[in-house]
Structure 1
């Protein structure tokens, strides 16, 4: 087991199984052979990959970063070898996707049948969450995000944009009144997220200038889908993307508030991917697929 890719396979298996002996069983190696490979790796890299004790084996921060890189490299090797062996040029391998719950529910999930039919060799691993994840730490290949981008450690390609509006259900307004100006929101229950975003305040245009108002309420949530549902139930006021409430507005289930103060509240939607020298075929075709199928549907 002298090749670097071989060492990487041993290392990743140790991380995934949690011990030298368990990794050795799956690789048909003795625990001492596995230990020698890890020691050789640590010596060459000049870092400690595992914290060892008589009862516990823990991956260090350096080990976790190295593991993420190894997984990507080994995936690329497997994809290349599979394509050559089978005479296949189509993309293969695992594609890890992260997207917000509303965007995933309304757009990405409905597109999956078309994508998997077009690229049957790609194994899709799709996670829906509104919290912003670290692509490298969570081993995400590509993500779709709405709003400002604050991290420069990745590449981004714009897919489109979506307007946003402050909305409430008619029954909430009947019970609590209709705010006539942004300042009136201080007396209302306004929903917000329970995780940090690039901007938590709500923007309004007053006398030609844009002001950002902090809003407060006694209910927080971690995703836009739940926030929409609570708003529909008449529990409070939300600021939501038009892409997943346009039917609610058209049917009257939700009512837009303070439209004269809306500053052209628009957020861009991007597909983002790690800043790497080499983009795998599976990532490239998925990005191209989104530009082809999703971009035409995203209008401000």
Structure 2
């Protein structure tokens, strides 16, 4: 039998954090330890097991075959421990505080309408919601889940797709009455094109004309920090804006905004993902419950 003074579950949790966060320093910040303490803990674990779990280099960590086996078993054991504690403590009803970081557009048009249902299903939840289009540092911002649009960069984060949406160029009737409606890419040179004040995966408006795709810069006199802000500027008649279809669908239906240049649309769609740290088996039950709800009720189309 193993010695009772060995905190095996604690060792497993630190080891899993090192693997999923990709290094000792990031795992140390997440576990509120020093990098040297994490390094020593992993060394003790390997010594006790009599096997090397990680190959270390100056740039990255790589699991050994023994490390892969231990990681798979450890994540299952830690998940079982959490389930056991939850079953005894709160009757298997997820509780806790979850911090979600999302764009204002998703928050207002997708999440807010279904939020009452989520809170009704999970009365033990406290939800912190931060609205921003900026890239999130999960550790620094203490973020559990982030909702992000566009292509995902390779990282230690895990993503669950929530759907995808078309992009639509729109303007208020008052703006079109004043400035006219553009019909061609060349016409856009005479129009205010509202854009984002930060770098994006595609920094402009992709349009297809005469069999060729052209990315038109969004170089208007006003730049915004988020899609919802640009929507309000478009509603006020400030200029043209290219926005996610789900954010302007109701505005178009009642005539507050008018779609333009639909005949030049490339047909490309933008994907939305719920992004988080860690594999599903090791997620806190509160985070897992939120992700499952978003996959069911928070779809983008």
TM-score for both structures, normalised by structure 1: 0.70
Q: What is the CA distance between 1:228 and its match in structure 2?
A: 0.8
Separation in structure 1 between the aligned mates of residue 212 and residue 263 of structure 2, nearest angstrom: 13
Q: What is the CA distance between 1:151 and its match in structure 2?
A: 4.4
Q: Provide, for residues 230-267 of structure 1, a one-character-per-residue CA deviation record: whole Å limited to 9, x for no partner.
A: 11111111001110111111222211111110111321
Bigger drift between 80-89 and 155-164 goes to 80-89
| CA distance 1:245–1:41, shift in 2 (3 Å) | closer
| CA distance 1:81–1:125, shift in 2 (3 Å) | farther
How many aligned residue pairs are there?
236
Q: What is the CA distance between 1:150 and its match in structure 2?
A: 2.6
User: What's 2:260 paired with?
Assistant: 257
Separation in structure 2 between the aligned mates of residue 86 and residue 275 of structure 1, nearest angstrom: 24
User: What's 1:200 paired with?
Assistant: 203
| CA distance 1:41–1:150, shift in 2 (3 Å) | closer
1:227 to 209, 227, 230: 230
User: What's 1:160 paired with?
Assistant: 163
CA RMSD of aligned residues (A): 2.9
1:269 aligns with 2:272: yes
User: What's 1:120 paired with?
Assistant: 123
Q: Provide, for residues 67-120 of structure 1, a one-character-per-residue CA deviation record: whole Å limited to 9, x for no partner.
A: xxxxxxxxx9x9779736535222222211111101101121222221122122
User: What's 1:44 paired with?
Assistant: 37
- Segments ≥4 residues shifted beyond 6 Å: 2-5, 78-82
User: What's 2:296 paired with?
Assistant: 292
| CA distance 1:42–1:209, shift in 2 (3 Å) | closer
Q: Provide, for residues 136-178 of structure 1, a one-character-per-residue CA deviation record: whole Å limited to 9, x for no partner.
A: 3322111112222234331111111111111111111121122
Separation in structure 2 between the aligned mates of residue 159 and residue 43 of structure 1, nearest angstrom: 39
**Which runs of 5 or more structure 2 residues have no equivalent in the other structure?**
1-5, 11-31, 41-78
**Which runs of 5 or more structure 1 residues have no equivalent in the other structure?**
6-37, 48-75
User: What's 2:185 paired with?
Assistant: 182
Which residues in structure 2 correspond to 1:1-300 (within 5 Å)? 44-45=37-38, 83=86, 86-276=89-279, 278-295=282-299, 298-299=300-301
CA contact (8 A) 1:186 1:216 kept: no
